[in-house]
Amino acid sequence: MVPYAVLSALLPLLALAQDGGITGPTTSPDAAGYSCDPSRCQLPNCHCASTSPPGGLDPSEVPMFVVFTADDAIQSYTLDAVNQFLAHRRNPNGCPIKMTYYTSLTYTNYTLVTDWYVAGNEIADHTMTHVGSPPADEINGNLITLNALAGIPMSAIKGFRAPYLNYTADTLKQLYESEFTYDSSSTASVPVTDPNTDAYWPYTLDNGMANNCLTIPGTCKGEPKLPGFWEVPMYAFFDRNGAAGPHLMDPWLDTANGASSVNDSATLEYMQNTFTDHYRGNRQPIGLYTHPIHVSRTYPGVTVRASTINMINAFLDWAQEQQNVWIVSTEQLLDWVQHPIPVSQLDSVASLKCTTPQVDENAQICNGIPRNEAGLLSHCAFSDFPFYTCYGCPSEHPTPANPNPPQDSESTLLASAVSTSPTILLAVKLEETDVTYLLSSPSPR
């Protein structure tokens, strides 16, 4: 029996996780009304929506990318859940797998965000309090709080996913204004084997959107025009019902082929079949878009079958047995799309390389490495959702109206500046209630 206080804290989080489903095609060529001249729209800052690989590469020269993402709060439970699929894997170059965490802040434990980022993963924006059609302060406040309490450089937070995948034309315009690099909330909802497939490689919105044209008013037919801003579609899996049987987020929670109960074997079958359709075709990426809480083995009150965990790992094992398959974060995918080179040359791609922060193991510093941070973490004991941070507790919970509250005057933590690698600089200087952040970029974004 879970105590009421614990249960009441859990229920909102479980409710938050129920986002991201589609039941059929979300666009058509007529609704899209998309046109783009590839001779005028060229990489790396412009790219037409296309089902063909970028850079004119032959599919045989194209890596097969499996994008792995997680959404919502970052907690020890959710990182454990992700690690059961990724921690033991390596990409073809021998480096650990990186993934993207679209982070919302309600229930997030900030010190774990720091750790996850420093381990090489991408931290992206999923609003502060998990609202669909988000106002600007929900989007921008997330940047400010992740910077203030997790030390993530604002310039490193490049991507956004809308809660419930519920975005509008205004959401995309806001992201552009806030200098995000990409959104990944739209859906590729028609199989690649269908001539009308909307499984486009990531593209810029110089000529508007080409996905979700039947479902999002004010987009497509050339709108919204946001030069250089990328859309990274989320690629659905399809069961035996084809376009009428799409599975997008957490496909292992769905029933397949019109059945009335979940069947892991049926899920594995259609995930493999969709992967193969992409792999043998134009190698558009596929994605495992997860809510880790649903596959947590340690979260109180959540029950996931061992067979489901095993099935997901069996899928990844099977995919990795094939040639040129890479499991990547969204920013790694996008970096390759912007600079497409043949698989034989992937060893030279910086974003796919291993990252190992060089740091004195005895130093006492806030750098996202637990042994260095020992004794430096503050426990911010808010009653609704307490958290730890290496950057000092705020006097009140961050909110969209006040994403960086003043430092708690009780806090006596003093953290010192540190450079952990040429690209990672997490630094903070605390002067009583004044906090100055020294970021890797001279301007915040």
Residues that bind Zn ion (CB under 5 A): 19, 71-72, 163
State in angstroms the smallest separation of the CB of 1 from Zn ion: 28
Q: Round to whole Å and give the CA distance between 445 and 441.
A: 7
Closer of 72 and 183 to Zn ion (Cβ): 72
Considering the complex, what minimum distance in angstroms separates the CB of residue 306 from Zn ion?
25
| Contacts for 355 with CB less than 8 Å, ≥ 6 apart | 120, 421, 423, 424
Q: How many helices (H) and strands (E) does the chain have?
A: 10, 19
Give min distance, CB of 183 to Zn ion, in A: 14
Distance (Å, whole) CA 180 – CA 372: 31
Q: Which residues of 239-248 are buried (b: 16+ CB within 10 A; e: fewer)?
A: beeebebbbb
Which residue, 54 or 163, is less far from Zn ion as judged by CB? Answer: 163
To Zn ion, the closest distance from the beta carbon of 409 in angstroms equals 34
Cβ within 8 Å of residue 338, ≥6 positions away: 43, 44, 45, 47
Residue 139 phi, psi dihedral angles, 5° rounding: -80, -50
Host H or E run for residue 205? strand 203-205
Q: Is 105 or 393 the residue whose CB approaches Zn ion more closely? A: 105
Cα 442 to Cα 273: distance, rounded to the nearest angstrom: 47
288/439 with CB nearer Zn ion: 288
CB of 212 to Zn ion, least distance (A): 17
**What amino acid is encoded at 326 in this protein?**
W
- Could you give the residue ranges of the DSSP H alpha helices within 290-419? 306-320, 330-338, 370-373
Neighbouring-strand partners of residue 71 = 102
C-alpha span between 397 and 409 (Å, rounded): 14
**Beta carbon of residue 73, minimum distance to Zn ion (angstroms, whole number):** 9
Shortest CB 72 distance to Zn ion, Å: 5
Nearest to 238 by CA among 256, 214, 215: 256
CB 224 within 8 A of CB 205: yes
Write the single-letter amino acid at 207. N
* Shortest spacing between CB 127 and Zn ion, in angstroms: 8
C-alpha angle 136-138-140 in degrees, rounded to nearest 5: 65
| Nearer CB in complex with Zn ion: 122/206 | 122
Which helix or strand (DSSP H or E) is residue 150 part of?
Answer: helix 136-150
Q: Which CB, 72 or 138, lies closer to Zn ion?
A: 72
Output 165 or 376, the one with its CB closest to Zn ion: 165
Residues 237 and 273: their CA atoms lie apart, in Å, by 8
Nearer to Zn ion, 131 or 304 (CB): 131
- The Cα 440–Cα 156 span in angstroms is 9
State the residue number with the nearest CB to Zn ion: 71
- For Zn ion, which is the closer residue by CB, 253 or 346? 253
CB of 438 vs Zn ion, minimal distance in Å: 32
Q: Which lies closer to Zn ion via its Cβ, residue 236 or residue 413? A: 236
- Between residues 163 and 202, which has the closer beta carbon with respect to Zn ion? 163
Site of tokens 């059929």:
24
- Smallest separation (angstroms) from Zn ion to the CB of 247: 17
**List of residues 6+ apart from 212 with CB closer than 8 A:** 26, 27, 186, 187, 189, 219, 220
- Shortest Cβ 227–Zn ion spacing (Å): 28
